[in-house]
Structure 1
Amino acid sequence: MNCLELTLYPSLTLTLLERRGDSYVKAFGVRKGLDASADPYLSGRWYDPWRYVGEVDSDVERAVRELLDRYGDCVGISISPGDEGLIFVAAFLTQNTAYHTNVLRWTHALFSRSERLDEIAELAPSVGNSYQLRRLPAALRAYLSARPKDRADLLKIPGVGPKVADLYLLFTGDASAVPVDKHFMRQAPRLGLTGRPPDKSYCARYDCAVCPLQSVCLRARAADKLGRLAGWVQTVLYIVDKGITRETRRS
């Protein structure tokens, strides 16, 4: 994959794009027709991981620098300002399913019919019978009512756990968010980061910095040791765990 493809592959913005030849073009949400490679947000160029290397703890700095040397000039964090509602739909649907097989198919079916969240809530059960689609209407109604501003607000939405909340935050621009999924659990020990997945009951009551589980929670440990590189590191480790290789440099 080239650098744009590597940046888009893990990102929820991929649900808003359409492949046209060698290009990725905005098909849903704001700024339809925009070529992702020409936009600093969709291409991920707005985020420079090298800016935050000073926030990395010395315990993991060497391993993080190895990732930066390999991917730092290539992989960014793709976001799409103005499309937060559609990004929430995509994040919610990622639960326990294949992103590139099911979530992309479901979101394309939904967004092709409507981009209004209230209408998507009505349409979801007609797209498929998966539990993710069945639970989406209640989550969307809560999202529309609450208009969440932070992780604590997101975790109050029915069906939203720490991974979904952090996915949403990361791909709406919070680079300190760390979605702890199976890929991160497998790859994080390469950096010297170990721990268990975050516990929603604790996440709902505490910030990571003061949580009683911070010493054993992988999310809390990653956020503490990686700072604003945490989300980027998670993104790169997702690519690594998938066995995807870099072919060309981003110009």
Structure 2
Amino acid sequence: MMRHSREDRCLSLTLYPSLTLSLLDENYVKIFGVKKGVKASEDQYISGRWYNPWRYINDVDGDLRNRVHRLVELYGDCIGISISPGDEDLLFVTAFLTQNTNYHTNVLRWIRRIFSLSEDLREIVKIASQIGRSYQLQRLPQAIEDYIRLGRPRSRGELLKIAGVGPKVADLFLLFTGDVTSAPVDKHFMRTAPKLGLAGETPRANYCRKYTCETCPLSSRCLRGLSYRKLGRLAGWVQTVSYLIDKGLVGGLA
């Protein structure tokens, strides 16, 4: 539920799209991972205050500058990017489970059951399939085993080597572990981005596994590639705000 004071509402808006939300209770107190007991509002990383979109306005291509500038004017002093350094393993589990399901209804419920039993990845491998019969939970053990075998990757190319991880999951994990150039392309971003002047296709996993955005022959028409090139370090923030706009939680651009 969104809170009503401006400060609380901004915190709620920042946390609502984030993977970090899965580590908090309903009062936004940390219950899983590092810093248990810390209030989100009191931590610069979890609250999103570490990220200031105004710093990166010059990353934006000239043809998008006016519309993105307006977006930053509207929400730059309110919406941040919530991360939780030290919790990357847990955030990978959350990111993987977001595939083709409702984050706030299903994923948060699954995650709280899993992490209440164990926060150890090797233990989660053993218990995940017992939490439910959804294919996300059934595929999670293999994904975790790959994640461990690959050395807990932090690069997009390595993440895409994990069974079941596609571009959206990889970018979601990267964004909410601090790579603000990563913009997860979901249905919300696909609907909202054209209003900013960014019209592109969804990323193709086979190309993402073969190329980087800098070298991919499809980058000029792929929304992920366009976001990376035209928004720079604002890409993840713009995607986050686009998600909130499409959900009807904040107003869009006229």
Same fold? TM cut 0.5: yes
Alignment correspondent of 1:101? 105
Question: Which one of the candidate residues 131, 136, 149 is aligned to 1:132?
Answer: 136
Q: CA deviation at 1:216?
A: 1.3
| 2:8 aligned with 1:8 | no
Quote the Cα distance in structure 1 between the aligned partners of 2:180 and 2:224: 13
For the residue of structure 2 that corresponds to 1:209, the secondary structure is coil
Quote the Cα distance in structure 2 between the aligned partners of 1:182 and 1:118: 33
Quote the Cα distance in structure 1 between the aligned partners of 2:149 and 2:179: 22
Task: Could you list the structure 1 runs, at least 4 aligned residues long, displaced by more than 3 angstroms after superposition.
Answer: none
Deviations along 1:105-136, whole A, 9 cap, x unmatched? 00001000000011111111111000000000
Q: CA deviation at 1:73?
A: 0.1
Alignment correspondent of 1:30? 34
Q: CA deviation at 1:19?
A: 1.7
Percent identity, aligned pairs only, is 63
For the residue of structure 1 that corresponds to 2:26, the secondary structure is strand
Q: CA deviation at 1:177?
A: 0.3
Quick one: which amino acid aligns to residue 224 of structure 1?
R
Alignment correspondent of 1:112? 116
RMSD, aligned CA = 0.8
Question: Which one of the candidate residues 208, 223, 247 is aligned to 1:242?
Answer: 247
Q: Please report the TM-score for the alignment, with normalisation by the length of structure 1.
A: 0.95
| 2:59 aligned with 1:55 | yes
Alignment correspondent of 1:187? 192
Alignment correspondent of 1:43? 47
Quote the Cα distance in structure 1 between the aligned partners of 2:20 and 2:34: 12
Question: Please, which runs of 5 or more residues in structure 2 have no aligned partner?
Answer: 3-8
Deviations along 1:164-219, whole A, 9 cap, x unmatched? 00000000000000100000000000111011100111111111011011111110
Question: Which one of the candidate residues 201, 225, 237 is aligned to 2:230?
Answer: 225
Quick one: which amino acid aligns to residue 45 of structure 2?
Y
For the residue of structure 2 that corresponds to 1:19, the secondary structure is coil
Q: Please report the TM-score for the alignment, with normalisation by the length of structure 2.
A: 0.94
* RCO comparison, higher one (Cα < 8 Å, 6+): 1
Alignment correspondent of 1:249? none
